[in-house]
């Protein structure tokens, strides 16, 4: 069972449903490959407490779920339901509408013969993980129903699902860092164009943010590229116009001296190339582009840290 209907839940479900050999052409580390190779699960169930219109999948990520020759994606036609709030969401959000259409198409097709089944369940709110002797033996959910606004309410109807493991993918909240401004409600650092903004409205000199700590846990990697470009552009503008703190030791070599003086092991760009060559060499005998090193000590050794 995978709890959640966002892109992280999709990623978790996809990896659990695929075969290890299907992932072998990627840069999957050997220990992860071995773990997935031992996975005997033939069914993966993804649960969301609301309906198709409220799912937070990205359309492309959702469609890619069906591209695997080993994964049969299954949607129950009874889970295709919309109220006034859901229809309004579809009309006002192109991505939500595309996701709903994809789910509708999967709900009306015949179930195929691909060996691994991936079920997408809607209107099922997780209520309890069932266990015996310290092991998961099931998941209990409560059936929900739309209330007219796009939200749902419980129906009092419960169902037990025969699953042996449960993965949670229902949200992310960043952690506050000392001495930085913080928006408690959104779990982000307040900013303007990536410049960190204090309560007074002034820019906290030489301090910038990008990614989820700036915009919250939404979107794919591609969505944060624009944020990063804007942040870096403003940082460079501040540098060009003398708005950054002047470092006491501006020579790049001073960074190496600082780290060495504190006994911190580090690698350089040249060291990264050494690590890259080592991983490629490990992959060559197996016909793979690389075998990634996992342990930090191994990476530091190969990079000449």
Q: Where are the domains of the chain?
A: 2-168, 174-246, 253-302
Q: Which pLDDT score, from 0 to 100, does residue 162 have?
A: 96
Q: How confident is the model at residue 107 (pLDDT cuts 50, 70, 90)?
A: very high
For tokens 């989820």, what's the residue?
A: 212
Cβ-contact 207, 180 below 8 angstroms: yes
Q: Is the pLDDT of residue 218 over 80?
A: no
Left if phi > 0, otherwise alpha if psi is -120 to 50, otherwise beta: which for 123? left
Q: Which pLDDT score, from 0 to 100, does residue 172 have?
A: 84
Helix H or strand E segment including 203: strand 203-208
Q: Which pLDDT score, from 0 to 100, does residue 217 have?
A: 83
Task: Considering only residues 133 and 25, tell me which one the structure prediction assigns the higher pLDDT.
Answer: 133
Q: Which pLDDT score, from 0 to 100, does residue 284 have?
A: 92
DSSP 169: -
Q: Which pLDDT score, from 0 to 100, does residue 173 have?
A: 87
| Proportion of the chain above pLDDT 70, given as a percent | 100
Q: Is the pLDDT of residue 161 over 90?
A: yes
Q: Which pLDDT score, from 0 to 100, does residue 78 have?
A: 97
Q: Is the pLDDT of residue 222 over 80?
A: no
Residues 6+ apart with CB under 8 A from 119: 43, 44, 45, 46, 74, 75, 76
Label residues 206-238 b or e (16+ Cβ within 10 Å = b).
ebbbbbbbbbebebeeeebeebeebbeebbeeb
Q: Which pLDDT score, from 0 to 100, does residue 143 have?
A: 98
The mean per-residue pLDDT over the stretch 156-166 comes to: 97
Q: How confident is the model at residue 140 (pLDDT cuts 50, 70, 90)?
A: very high
Q: Which pLDDT score, from 0 to 100, does residue 56 have?
A: 93
Q: Is the pLDDT of residue 114 over 90?
A: yes
Q: Is the pLDDT of residue 147 over 90?
A: yes
Q: Is the pLDDT of residue 223 over 80?
A: no
pLDDT tens figures, 39-57: 988 999 999 999 999 999 9
Residue 103: exposed, middle, or buried by beta-carbon count in 10 A (0-12, 13-18, 19+)?
buried
The mean per-residue pLDDT over the stretch 71-93 comes to: 97
Q: Give all strands of the β-sheet with 203-208 in edge-to-edge order.
A: 191-192, 195-197, 203-208
Q: CATH topology for 2-168?
A: FAD/NAD(P)-binding domain (3.50.50)
Q: How confident is the model at residue 171 (pLDDT cuts 50, 70, 90)?
A: confident
């Amino acid at each position: 069972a995978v709890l959640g209907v966002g892109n992280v839940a999709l990623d978790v479900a996809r990896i659990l449903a695929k075969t290890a050999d299907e992932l072998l052409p990627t840069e999957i580390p050997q220990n992860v490959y071995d773990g997935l190779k031992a996975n005997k699960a033939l069914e993966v169930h993804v649960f969301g407490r609301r309906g198709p219109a409220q799912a937070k999948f990205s359309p492309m990520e959702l469609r890619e779920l069906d591209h695997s020759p080993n994964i049969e994606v299954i949607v129950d036609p009874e889970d295709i339901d919309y109220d006034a709030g859901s229809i309004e969401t579809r009309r006002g959000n192109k991505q939500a509408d595309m996701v709903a259409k994809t789910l509708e198409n999967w709900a009306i097709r015949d179930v195929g013969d691909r060996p691994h089944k991936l079920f997408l369940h809607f209107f099922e709110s997780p209520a309890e993980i069932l266990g015996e002797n310290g092991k998961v033996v099931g998941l209990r959910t409560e059936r929900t129903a739309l209330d007219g606004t796009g939200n749902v309410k419980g129906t009092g109807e419960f169902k037990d699902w025969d699953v042996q493991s449960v993965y949670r993918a229902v949200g992310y909240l960043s952690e506050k860092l000392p001495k930085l401004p913080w928006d408690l409600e959104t779990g982000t650092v307040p900013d303007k164009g990536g410049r960190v903004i204090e309560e007074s409205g002034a820019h906290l000199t030489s301090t910038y943010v990008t990614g989820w700590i700036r915009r919250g846990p939404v979107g794919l990697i591609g969505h944060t590229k624009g944020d990063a470009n804007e942040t870096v552009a403003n940082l460079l503008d501040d540098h060009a116009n003398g708005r950054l703190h002047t470092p006491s030791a501006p020579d790049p070599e001073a960074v190496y001296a600082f780290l060495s003086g504190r006994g911190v092991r580090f690698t350089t760009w040249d060291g990264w190339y050494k690590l890259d060559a080592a991983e490629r060499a490990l992959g060559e005998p197996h016909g793979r582009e690389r075998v990634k090193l996992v342990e930090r000590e191994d990476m530091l050794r190969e990079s000449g840290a």
